[in-house]
Structure 1
Amino acid sequence: MKREKLRLFGLMLLISVLSSACLTNVHQANHKPKASKQEVLQVLQSTNAYFMEKWPDTGKPIYTTRWRPSNIWTRAVYYEGLMALYAIDRDQRYYDYAVDWGTKHNWGMRNGLETRNADDQACGQVYLELYELDKEEERIRAIKKNIDFVMHSGKVDDWTWIDAIQMAMPVFAKLGVMFDDPRYFDYMYKLYSYSKNEEGGGLYNPTDKLWWRDRNFVPPYQEPNGEDCYWSRGNGWVVAALVRVLAVIPENEKNHAVYLQDFKDLMEGVLKAQRKDGFWNVSLHDPTNFGGRETSGTALFAYGMAWGINQGILDAAVYRPALDKAWQAMVDEAVHPSGFLGYVQGTGKEPKDGQPLGFSTVPDFEDYGLGCFLLAGSEFYKLLESGR
């Protein structure tokens, strides 16, 4: 009996040791070391170099189905990313490339001083940043006149699609800070509030903590699986807008708390929709509707997470694993050795647009996806540099 007990004890001990070893091996196999700040910087430099080499002429019009000037929103988003990269990597070529872009377009907008289209105003974000670096009046003259024109009109229903919030809202925020003029803050809140609460009955759903792209996607519209249609990149644009506004307006600005809470809530809604591989689907609540990896929305969500953690707004214990996973997924699955960025959905407004996506699929515009990626990586770099 004693000998049998010893044998049984020995067998249990062996099983325990083997189980422990197996679990350790599985953990080691699944664990990936966190990226270093140098690795992050290198991939940002590589992807940006690919684009700058492909587009040496900053004023060259863009052709897809027709010709478009290169100061449209797609290129403006790229330059937002480039300026974020320049903030962590002071390469003179980046600054010169951005200044040349503004100069080639006479620091103006696609449809002139009286355009109300937020897509036309996106370039102003870059013009204002470049003015802050070198205060040449020509850099902000046109964009300020345009925004002043918009405010003088009293019209507040311009942002009828959520992309517009990112394209134009940070321009108002920067002007308010630069000229110490709260009228810009007040007016952007009216525009933002109209989109959020009134357009189409309100484009924000506080239940799911996500935004419908425009009134056409507000219920009763449904995805094939019966869920609401929340477009990934559209929600990403709102994330970026809130980041870029909160990053510049003073904390005592009267609507600061609203933007801050909206940011926190939106990031909560976004977090719940992340795929197991780190990406987000183009349709946040329906993975069956053109499901699969998508880089631009993923990058914008990663941008928001990195910034939120950096500012102490988002709980790192909750969001850092999601951020690490998202960043590594993009680097491992979307970045080509050449620097080309795959899995970027082309322009559009819903899951079916710009399909199919793939590692080597070239979207109709290559610029904005890279801009989103540069924003995410630059903010992630700051997080790594801080040692957190």
Structure 2
Amino acid sequence: MNKFLKLVLASAVLSLLSCSQTPSITAQQVQSHADRLARWQLEHMGDFEYVRTFRDHTAQPDGWVQAAFYIGLNRWNDTGGEGRYLSALQQKAEANHWQLGPLYWHADDQAIAQLYLALIDSADSQALAPTQTKFDDILAYGADNSLEFIRDDTGQSEGTCQRRWCWSDALFMAPPAWAAMSRISGDEQYLNYALTEFWATTNYLFDPTYHLYYRDSRFFDRASEHDNKVFWSRGNGWVFAGLPLLLEQLPDNHPERPKLITHYRRMAYAFGALQTAEGLWAPSLLDNDYDPLPETSGSSFVVFGLAWGVNRGLLPAADFNDVIVSGWQAIDKRLTPEGWLGWVQQVGYEPDKVHADDTQLYGSGAYLLAASEMLDYDAGKASAK
């Protein structure tokens, strides 16, 4: 038995032993656990043997998988990390030469810009130029592709619609970076583009009845094996976590802010109604009563988004305390003593099976986002389910 499988079994035993307990949340505990995860993940960035699928995607230094981790690490560095991870963040940006991914027009390859822009505090910085040049090229190209997710002339399933944000995940990857570019440069055209495209995608993929997003147009008429509409937990988690990151880049008096907050609240209440008995969110959100697998990446994004809203008075604590606390506790039980997070659904685009030893960098990033809000969350006024 290899070392990693031994760690999995040890983690499973610890999880079973803790199932009957409802541990309280303390800032010290959040601090310790998030630092443990951050250290483990940074120590395991050179070899991705522990990742079950899509290791090539994971290894791409400027791709979305690593970007999602560094976005979470950057936020943790600014909160509980107290600056201890700044050198790792700077080294990452410098190693990438501050460049976007090769498909710079694709939202996935723009996600890493969120890290770069968080490290840049001046429009005069030379480090700003690579991202700004690519964004200017996208603006010059224009956004007039269909949002329908169909095969293009080459037979590729991810067709020309991905020059725009035609899949839900994109709303985490790109809009916060575009808004940050406006904040730093003082040029509103980047934010205007982000908001125009955000609402175009939302008008296309958001279901006004369920207040959730289809992952892309292929799911409009698809049903799960339980005959429910298919709303993917992580796909919606991407959007819900991206909304706070976008809102934080907007000026307080921006005319779009109230509309975005209203949209955010609709999603928050949808998530609150779909939590499983254990405190997580099932891979297929409407199948939560039938197939409540303990998936931690989508659930971490949701906990981050909900705790962010309560912490800022945008969501009533009375409605969400139990949801947030039980959600965090259920996720935290999947963190091993060594520091890796289990039960993370692998790279995909729809609900899928999850295993106890499944972990991935975006799961680590999502956990750190959640931890950054749970650190200051007033758990004393909440009672776990």
Structure 1 and Structure 2 fold alike (TM over 0.5): yes
- SS at 1:139's partner residue? helix
Q: Does residue 214 of structure 1 match 2:205?
A: no
Q: What letter is aligned with 2:133?
A: K
> Given the superposition, is the C-alpha separation of residues 102 and 289 from structure 1 closer, same or farther in structure 2, using an over 3 Å criterion?
farther
Q: Does residue 45 of structure 1 match 2:74?
A: no
- Alignment RMSD, CA only? 2.5
Greater Cα shift, 64-73 or 248-257: 64-73
2:44 matched to which residue of 1?
A: 54
Structure 2: gaps (5+ residues): 1-18, 146-163
Q: Does residue 145 of structure 1 match 2:142?
A: no
Match of 1:72 among 63, 72, 77: 63
Q: What letter is aligned with 1:362?
A: D
Greater Cα shift, 307-316 or 222-231: 222-231
Q: Percent of counterpart pairs with the same letter?
A: 28
| Cα distance in structure 1, aligned partners of 2:274 and 2:330 | 15
> Given the superposition, is the C-alpha separation of residues 226 and 382 from structure 1 closer, same or farther in structure 2, using an over 3 Å criterion?
same
1:339 matched to which residue of 2?
A: 339
> Given the superposition, is the C-alpha separation of residues 111 and 196 from structure 1 closer, same or farther in structure 2, using an over 3 Å criterion?
same
Greater Cα shift, 152-161 or 120-129: 152-161
**Highest CA radius of gyration, 1 or 2?**
1
Higher RCO, Cα 8 Å, sep 6+ = 2
- SS at 1:382's partner residue? coil
Greater Cα shift, 264-273 or 289-298: 289-298
Match of 1:111 among 88, 93, 102: 102
Match of 1:369 among 344, 363, 367: 363
1:163 matched to which residue of 2?
A: 169
Residue 386 of structure 1: CA displacement?
A: 11
Q: Does residue 179 of structure 1 match 2:168?
A: no
Greater Cα shift, 240-249 or 230-239: 240-249
Residue 181 of structure 1: CA displacement?
A: 2.4
> Given the superposition, is the C-alpha separation of residues 66 and 327 from structure 1 closer, same or farther in structure 2, using an over 3 Å criterion?
closer
Superposition misfits of 4+ residues, deviation over 6 angstroms:
385-388
C-alpha contact 2:275 2:288 (8 A) present in aligned 1: no
| Cα distance in structure 2, aligned partners of 1:285 and 1:255 | 30
Residue 149 of structure 1: CA displacement?
A: 1.5
C-alpha contact 1:229 1:284 (8 A) present in aligned 2: yes
Q: Which has the higher helix share?
A: 1
Aligned residues: 342
| Cα distance in structure 2, aligned partners of 1:348 and 1:63 | 10
Residue 274 of structure 1: CA displacement?
A: 0.4
Q: What letter is aligned with 1:152?
A: A
C-alpha contact 1:204 1:211 (8 A) present in aligned 2: yes
| Cα distance in structure 2, aligned partners of 1:169 and 1:235 | 15
Residue 194 of structure 1: CA displacement?
A: 1.5
C-alpha contact 1:76 1:123 (8 A) present in aligned 2: yes
2:241 matched to which residue of 1?
A: 240
2:6 matched to which residue of 1?
A: none
> Given the superposition, is the C-alpha separation of residues 156 and 254 from structure 1 closer, same or farther in structure 2, using an over 3 Å criterion?
farther
Structure 1: gaps (5+ residues): 1-28
